[in-house]
Amino acid sequence: MEKNQYLDLYHQMVLIRRIEERSAELYQQGKIGGFLHLYIGQEAVSTGLISVRRPEDRVITAYRDHGVAINCGIPAKQVMAELLGKATGCSKGKGGSMHMADVEKNFWGGHAIVGSHLPIAAGLALGDQYRGLNNVTICMFGDGATNIGFFHEAFNLSKVWDLPVLWVCENNQYGMGTSVERASAVPEIRQKAEGYNMRNARIDGMDLITVRDASLEALEYVRKNGPMLLEIVTYRYRGHSMGDPERYRDSGEIKKWQETDPIGIYRKYLSEKEIASLEEMNEIDTQVDHEVDEAVQFAESSPEPELDELFRDIYVEA
Ligand SMILES: Cc1ncc(C[n+]2csc(CCOP(=O)(O)OP(=O)(O)O)c2C)c(N)n1
Ligand SMILES: [Mg+2]
C-beta separation of 110 from 98 below 8 A: yes
**What is the average per-residue pLDDT within 248-277?**
97
**What is the average per-residue pLDDT within 221-240?**
98
> Could you tell me which of 195, 180, 183, 170 has the C-alpha nearest to residue 43?
170
- Can you tell me the distance from the alpha carbon of 108 to that of 58, in angstroms, rounded to the nearest whole number? 7
Within a domain: residue 314? no
Domain of residue 280: give its range.
Answer: 3-303
| pLDDT bucket at 293, cuts 50 / 70 / 90 | very high
Q: Could you write out the DSSP letters of every residue in 65-100?
A: -HHHHHHTT--HHHHHHHHTT-TTSTTTTSS-TT--
- What does the pLDDT read at residue 57? 98
Ligand 1 mean position, distance from CA 178 (Å): 10
Q: What is the pLDDT of residues 299-308, one digit of tens each?
A: 999 999 999 9
- The CA distances from residue 11 to 48, 102, 141, in Å, are 12, 21, 24
Ligand 2 mean position, distance from CA 143 (Å): 5
Ligand 2 mean position, distance from CA 170 (Å): 7
Within a domain: residue 310? no
3-state class of 61 per DSSP? coil
- Can you tell me the distance from the alpha carbon of 49 to that of 44, in angstroms, rounded to the nearest whole number? 8
- Can you tell me the distance from the alpha carbon of 232 to that of 173, in angstroms, rounded to the nearest whole number? 11
- What does the pLDDT read at residue 258? 96
CATH number at residue 246: 3.40.50.970
| pLDDT bucket at 314, cuts 50 / 70 / 90 | confident
- The CA distances from residue 263 to 3, 14, 36, 42, in Å, are 17, 7, 22, 10
**What is the average per-residue pLDDT within 113-137?**
98
> Could you tell me which of 115, 158, 93 has the C-alpha nearest to residue 299?
93
- Phi, then psi, of 254 in degrees rounded to 5: -65, -45
Q: Which residue's C-alpha comes closest to atom 7 of ligand 1?
A: 114
Within a domain: residue 235? yes
Ligand 2 mean position, distance from CA 219 (Å): 23
Within a domain: residue 50? yes
- Can you tell me the distance from the alpha carbon of 4 to that of 10, in angstroms, rounded to the nearest whole number? 10
Q: Which residue's C-alpha comes closest to atom 17 of ligand 1?
A: 142
Q: Could you write out the DSSP letters of every residue in 141-165?
A: EESGGGGSHHHHHHHHHHHHTT--E
Within a domain: residue 309? no
Residue 39 pLDDT exceeds 90: yes
Within a domain: residue 312? no
Ligand 1 mean position, distance from CA 6 (Å): 33
Q: What is the pLDDT of residues 178-189, one digit of tens each?
A: 999 999 999 999
Within a domain: residue 178? yes
Best residue for ligand 1 mutational test, from 63, 65, 99, 114 (most atoms within 8 Å of Cβ): 114
- What does the pLDDT read at residue 316? 77
Q: Which residue's C-alpha comes closest to atom 5 of ligand 1?
A: 114
Angle formed by the axes of helices 3-28 and 43-50, nearest 10°: 140
- Please identify, by atom number, the ligand 1 atom nearest to the C-alpha of residue 145: 15
- The CA distances from residue 267 to 8, 91, 136, in Å, are 13, 33, 31
- Can you tell me the distance from the alpha carbon of 167 to that of 154, in angstroms, rounded to the nearest whole number? 10
Within a domain: residue 31? yes
Q: Indicate the number of domains in the chain.
A: 1
| pLDDT bucket at 164, cuts 50 / 70 / 90 | very high
- Phi, then psi, of 124 in degrees rounded to 5: -60, -45
Ligand 2 mean position, distance from CA 145 (Å): 8
- Please identify, by atom number, the ligand 1 atom nearest to the C-alpha of residue 146: 15
**What is the average per-residue pLDDT within 209-224?**
98
As a whole-number percent, the residues of the chain with pLDDT over 70 amount to: 100
- Average pLDDT, whole number, for the chain? 97
- What does the pLDDT read at residue 82? 98
Residue 317 pLDDT exceeds 80: no
Kindly identify the ligand whose nearest atom is closest to the C-alpha of 39: 1
3-state class of 59 per DSSP? strand
Ligand 2 mean position, distance from CA 179 (Å): 8
| pLDDT bucket at 226, cuts 50 / 70 / 90 | very high
Residue 36 pLDDT exceeds 90: yes
| pLDDT bucket at 281, cuts 50 / 70 / 90 | very high
Q: What is the pLDDT of residues 41-70, one digit of tens each?
A: 999 999 999 999 999 999 999 999 999 999
Instruction: List ligand 1's pocket residues with C-beta within 6 A.
Output: 64, 112-114, 142-145, 172, 174-176, 240
- Please identify, by atom number, the ligand 1 atom nearest to the C-alpha of residue 241: 19
Q: Could you write out the DSSP letters of every residue in 10-53?
A: HHHHHHHHHHHHHHHHHHHTT-S-S-----TT-HHHHHHHHTT-
Q: Which residue's C-alpha comes closest to atom 2 of ligand 1?
A: 114
Ligand 2 mean position, distance from CA 6 (Å): 28
Residue 318 pLDDT exceeds 90: no
Residue 217 pLDDT exceeds 90: yes
- Can you tell me the distance from the alpha carbon of 309 to that of 318, in angstroms, rounded to the nearest whole number? 20
Evaluate the CA torsion angle 211, 216, 219, 220 in order and state its sign.
Answer: negative
- Please identify, by atom number, the ligand 1 atom nearest to the C-alpha of residue 143: 16
